[in-house]
Structure 1
Amino acid sequence: MGIANVAYATLVCLCAGLVTSHGIAAGTPMSAGALSAQLADAFAPHPAVVHLPLAQLAGALPLGPTLRLYAITDQPGLYVMHAPSLAAQGAMFSRVVALVERRDMPRDRVVSMSAIVASARRFGEDPAGLTAGNNFSTARIAQFFDVAQRQHVSLTEGERALQTLLAQWGLIRQEAGEGGMTWQAASAHDFLVTIPGTGTGPAGEVIDTEVRAAILSHELGHWRYFSDPAYAEACRTFWWHQLTYTEREALTEELTSMGYDPSDRIVIDELQAYLLHTPARFMPLADVPGAGGVDIARVKRGLELSVRNVGKNAGQ
């Protein structure tokens, strides 16, 4: 549910990542010391939270490698984390992504970092930049920490930083349960979007302000799907009742080829985020020719009409 891997040479691919039209620079891997320095702010005793309306968010994002959390005042439950860099974001979230949405990863256990590396390489991705952006309910993130705790899996430096941050911000907490202490979300309505700071990613991916804006737009599309039940139902209805079986099959195959789990929960959410919330030049979905193919422009128009009708009905 993030924006695809930042691994292709000229444009795309969201939820596994993004690159700019300028292509991929040579880039050098970030050292362990530099990454640790970027994550150090996560362990500060009073991490800053900026409260502002959504319309002011884009203008408030920092240009440098700054770790910051934004609480969106006119969208209750929405939080946006600005990670210092793509590498720092990956260090915090790669195994969360694997548990929640990757097609070849288990849903009931946290895999080793070596398994993450092997999986990323199968898709031609850099494991440090598994996603260019992320979106999770805080309940999903708490699930990750709870599963890891029950498995007695050691957290990485990035995962400990994430756990510390979210606990200090009051988004997750430990509670006593029948089997001992468990990790829980403070609210079932809280939702975290993450975007990377500008700069060069671990594989040389260029994250400039335009790419970051595209990532943010895509991830906020997932917030809309999470927080607006009528909108989400319109997307599901369109998928099941207005697309043909062959169209659903082709679109699922496209998204699966990017590494997404083929479940309806993931596919429908990603489809709407790509078609309705991702700038056209960063859109990875492509037409599939032939009788069993897909006309992406036609699918987008149909989905736009479906969700537009939801808005009209709400105003009646």
Structure 2
Amino acid sequence: MAPREQSLLKLENVVQLPQFMNRLFLLLVLVATLLGSGRLHAFEIKDGDLKTILYARTDVPVAWRYTPNKEVIILDMPGLDLLGRTFNRATQLKEQQYSEPYPRVLTSDELTKYIGAANKTFATFAGGHDLRVSDLVQFFNLAERDKVELFPEENALRDFFVEQGLMKEWRGVYLPQKPNTIILAIPQVQDRGSEPAVTRNARYAILLHELSHAEFYGNASYNRYCRTFWADAMTEGQKEAFKRFLAGMRYSVDNQELLINEMQAYLMFTPDAGSFSAGRLGISESELAALRDAFVKGRPPLQLPLRVRAGDLP
């Protein structure tokens, strides 16, 4: 090769190296942006009823369009820590700050301390979650207002909602497009390891519990039934027992809608003695059985199975 050609080749290599480095830098920035926004944690979208969802196994997050009710989306999360990092902060805002004069989204440090003070971890703070799109829009707007840095998993959830047309961004503000759509979240079955085990029976109890919340939100007749049952069928002592039980889990018991919603979910749709029992409620077994009988005899207008016992599976 002639000296002139060698010089030109060296010059070309010198010119191409910065171009390569610039492209590499841009690629790394893109990957970091995707990781930061959570876009790499995409949800698979499937359709299913209660039984289909219960027995499904997945290693990736799945968004189930619940076939009995098109207004319900069930997010199936492979891992309790993933579930918690996605939903704990939003649930804390919705269910545990009702009486706060200035509700706000906790920072990550504040959330970690809050969960630790309850002797919980991100994996054990809540077994399942229920929110409406309107609740989550408020959550994302408050986080944006206060410049709270969210987890990548929370950003992934926000991006998914925007992509699915459940909400949109307009001039820095998130607006609900389907505010009454109900978002439920449940964990996958898993063996005990770095996180607690989730058995098939536990998954069923969580799924039933969360679906009963969807009924309370979206079924006006059932909502009225539960309110009437609370007002007319329950004694003041029984109401106080539920308040103490829920306050022990840091629910905002000043929120009567939340109280009634959780009452019906625990009373009738949580077939797991570790989560709910007469002993945990502070009443006798006979009184709890009578309360359940009264609820069933009133013929609640919903399609979920009643009188499910611990260990029963569909």
TM-score band w.r.t. shorter chain? 0.7 to 0.9
The 5 A counterparts of 1:180-195 are 180-195=171-186
Residue identity in the other structure for 1:299: L
SS in 2 for 1:69: strand
The partner residue of 1:71 within 65, 69, 91 is: 65
Q: Which runs of 5+ in 1 are unaligned?
A: 1-35, 312-316
The partner residue of 1:123 within 115, 118, 122 is: 118
1:98 shift after superposition: 0.9
> Are the structure 2 counterparts of residues 146 and 41 from structure 1 closer, same or farther at C-alpha, using a change threshold of 3 Å?
closer
Residue identity in the other structure for 1:50: K
Aligned pair count? 265
SS in 2 for 1:206: coil
Partner of 2:231: 240
Q: Percent of counterpart pairs with the same letter?
A: 22
Task: Point out 4+ residue stretches in structure 1 off by more than 6 angstroms.
Answer: none
- Contact map agreement 2:43 2:60 (CA 8 A) in 1: no
1:150 aligns to 2:156 (yes or no): no
1:232 shift after superposition: 1.0
Partner of 2:256: 264
**Structure of higher RCO (CA pairs closer than 8 Å, 6+ residues apart):** 1
> Are the structure 2 counterparts of residues 197 and 256 from structure 1 closer, same or farther at C-alpha, using a change threshold of 3 Å?
same
Partner of 1:162: 157
> Are the structure 2 counterparts of residues 228 and 153 from structure 1 closer, same or farther at C-alpha, using a change threshold of 3 Å?
same
Q: In 2, Cα distance between the equivalents of 1:272 and 1:223? A: 12
Name the stretch that deviates more: 182-191 or 218-227: 182-191
Partner of 2:9: none
- Contact map agreement 1:94 1:128 (CA 8 A) in 2: no
Q: In 2, Cα distance between the equivalents of 1:258 and 1:203? A: 23
Q: TM-score, normalised by structure 1?
A: 0.75
CA RMSD of aligned residues (A): 2.9
> Are the structure 2 counterparts of residues 67 and 201 from structure 1 closer, same or farther at C-alpha, using a change threshold of 3 Å?
farther
- Residue by residue, what CA displacement relative to the aligned partner does 1:86-109 show, whole Å, maximum 9, x if unpaired? 100111111101100126984621
1:214 shift after superposition: 1.5
- Contact map agreement 1:47 1:169 (CA 8 A) in 2: no
The 5 A counterparts of 1:1-316 are 43-44=39-40, 47-59=43-55, 61-62=56-57, 64-102=58-96, 106=100, 108-175=103-170, 180-200=171-191, 204-262=195-253, 263-287=255-279, 288-289=282-283, 295-306=287-298, 308=299, 310=301
> Are the structure 2 counterparts of residues 47 and 256 from structure 1 closer, same or farther at C-alpha, using a change threshold of 3 Å?
closer
- Higher relative helix content: 2
Q: Which runs of 5+ in 2 are unaligned?
A: 1-31, 303-314
1:77 shift after superposition: 0.7
Q: In 2, Cα distance between the equivalents of 1:256 and 1:168? A: 37
- Contact map agreement 1:116 1:127 (CA 8 A) in 2: no
Residue identity in the other structure for 2:185: T
Residue identity in the other structure for 1:297: A
- Residue by residue, what CA displacement relative to the aligned partner does 1:50-71 show, whole Å, maximum 9, x if unpaired? 1234453324x22x43211111
Q: TM-score, normalised by structure 2?
A: 0.75
Residue identity in the other structure for 1:186: Q
1:72 shift after superposition: 1.9
- Residue by residue, what CA displacement relative to the aligned partner does 1:258-283 show, whole Å, maximum 9, x if unpaired? 22110212111011111111215454
Structure number with greater Rg is 2
Q: In 2, Cα distance between the equivalents of 1:41 and 1:294? A: 52
Q: In 2, Cα distance between the equivalents of 1:164 and 1:200? A: 30
Q: In 1, Cα distance between the equivalents of 2:136 and 2:183? A: 9
